Amino acid sequence: MIAPQWWFDLKQYAERLQRYSDEELLDIYFHIHPIRYRAHYLCVLRELRRRGVKPQVAHRPFAGVAWDLPQWVGALGWLGRSRAASCVVFGLLTLMLAATLTGLALTPIWLAALLMRYIDPFSALALIMGAVWAWGLGAWLTYKAGARGGWALLAALGSSAAFWAFLWTRAFARIVDALHQPLGGGVGVLAAACGIGYT
């Protein structure tokens, strides 16, 4: 659909905004994309300031911006003429987002493995299950952000990269060591740590 002429002429667009009610102007403010249509967004802001209307942005601080990777890439106007460049940027964003989300989900598990004074085999198994869950969560959230179809493989790859990095940490080494302990072997260690003696 081709936009009307007044959309391309910012002066006409600003004059048209003056004829809208405050409610209509606020509706435009909360739905226009502030990055892709920056000039139009600024026109809306100027009109709101002229009227002394202050939108309640606390409920939606990033108006017009959704959890959507295609929208983020589309907001980069310089990529519009190159499909190959758009695909490369989208792929890199998918990898980075998946790795970052997985890393954030793995952080509590990493901290728990380092801070726990003693890890028994059952706790170690729970921590491993949590790490696998973190891997799946990172890939799933990236999929929900728009990495559909073949791009989901890149999301899984980004999550796997973060998971692989976790496997090389000292925290994971402690978990593996705990798994190799006999089920009753931790009683003496725990007792010694707590200062309990046996006769």
- In single-letter form, the type of residue at position 163 comes to F
Report the b/e string of 141-180 with b at 16+ CB within 10 A. Answer: bbbebbbeeebbebbbebbbbbbeebeeeebbebbeebbe
Number of helical H runs and strand E runs in the chain: 10, 0
Q: How far apart are CA 109 and CA 103, in angstroms?
A: 10
Q: How far apart are CA 109 and CA 111, in angstroms?
A: 5
* pLDDT (0 to 100) of residue 189: 47
Boundaries of every domain in the chain: 5-65, 77-194
SS3 at position 159 = helix
Of 54-63, 71-80, 103-112, 190-199, give the lowest mean pLDDT range: 190-199
- Best mean pLDDT range from 40-49, 69-78, 90-99, 145-154: 90-99
pLDDT at 199 over 60: no
Q: How far apart are CA 72 and CA 97, in angstroms?
A: 12
- What integer best gives the mean pLDDT of the chain? 79
pLDDT tens by residue, 52-97: 887 664 444 444 445 567 666 666 656 556 677 778 888 888 899 9
Position 192 confidence tier, pLDDT thresholds 50, 70, 90 = very low
* pLDDT (0 to 100) of residue 76: 61
Residues 6+ apart with CB under 8 A from 82: none
> Nearest 5 degrees, angle CA 62-CA 68-CA 74?
90
